[in-house]
Structure 1
């Protein structure tokens, strides 16, 4: 994935924002339905969506899967503290966490913690194996703390679009 901070992006007008509100709720909405909802032609909607994909505004079109439905019983939010914040150390950690399939989300953060990760595992034995591989056996990690979710109150990827 490209570094979004250096991506040129593009200015979004009210039509783009309306289209984004619809497709982020359901990216299978037919373009003719989107066109009717935002008062544009289907061809104009198609061009705008393609332009937003090319500009990196729309990153991917995915299905959001219920972890319980695929037997991922453990959801952990993990705080990771690196041994130092040198660029090479941070870059290695980013690459490792990005490549780990169990890591659903990863954020490089401020406030005394280096990273916050969301990890899904089928059971505690699997989760322990992940923590050993990513944290305990990693010389770049000074410490980590796991917060196990008791209930998924809200898990949504929809952005509020002004």
Structure 2
């Protein structure tokens, strides 16, 4: 981030909030010519700072309104146990995120479901079969107070 200036930061901020903004509109908002803006965006992409462009879906409108956070404690910390768990959890379609944690749990999963019965299905079909799991605790999100995908730049 050392070679990113204030204009790059503004570009990144704007693109995080509206990834479909045209290059002309983006250039106008950061006071650059369209070609100079395009070069900067291309450099940010080439440097891996801009990783992807995605469409963020409304999970309620696509039938996945239930958000569940699952804390998982493994039976051991050997590389084989961690690797087997991580390989298996990657293929569960309902898991949006998996984080290796410090603290009480080894992993924290972010899971979406259509309702509690659907989560029970996900649990039976996938979560209960994950290798190396000693304990699992699930917490249902009652309401999302705040959510963003934009990183402060």
Change (3 A) 1:145 1:92: same
Query: Could you say which residue in structure 1 is the equivalent of 2:89?
Result: 97
Which segments of 5 or more consecutive residues in structure 1 lack a partner in the other structure?
Answer: 1-8
Q: Offset at 1:142? A: 1.0
The list of structure 1 runs, each at least 4 consecutive aligned residues, that deviate by more than 4 angstroms after superposition, is: none
* Structure 1 residue 109 corresponds to structure 2 residue 101: yes
Alignment of 1:1-162 (within 5 A): 11-161=3-153
Q: How far apart, CA to CA, are the structure 2 residues paired with 1:55 and 1:101?
A: 30
Q: How far apart, CA to CA, are the structure 1 residues paired with 2:68 and 2:110?
A: 6
- Please tell me the root mean square deviation across aligned C-alpha atoms, in Å: 1.8
Compare relative contact order (CA 8 Å, sep 6+) and give the higher one, 1 or 2: 2
CA contact (8 A) 1:75 1:148 kept: yes
CA contact (8 A) 2:89 2:130 kept: no
Give 3-state SS (helix, strand or coil) of 1:127's partner: helix
Change (3 A) 1:105 1:139: closer
Q: TM-score, normalised by structure 1?
A: 0.85
Change (3 A) 1:78 1:40: same
Q: Offset at 1:101? A: 1.6
Q: Mean alpha-carbon deviation: is it higher for 99-108 or for 87-96?
A: 87-96
Aligned length: 153
Q: TM-score, normalised by structure 2?
A: 0.89
Q: Offset at 1:14? A: 1.6
Which segments of 5 or more consecutive residues in structure 2 lack a partner in the other structure?
Answer: none
Q: Mean alpha-carbon deviation: is it higher for 90-99 or for 65-74?
A: 90-99
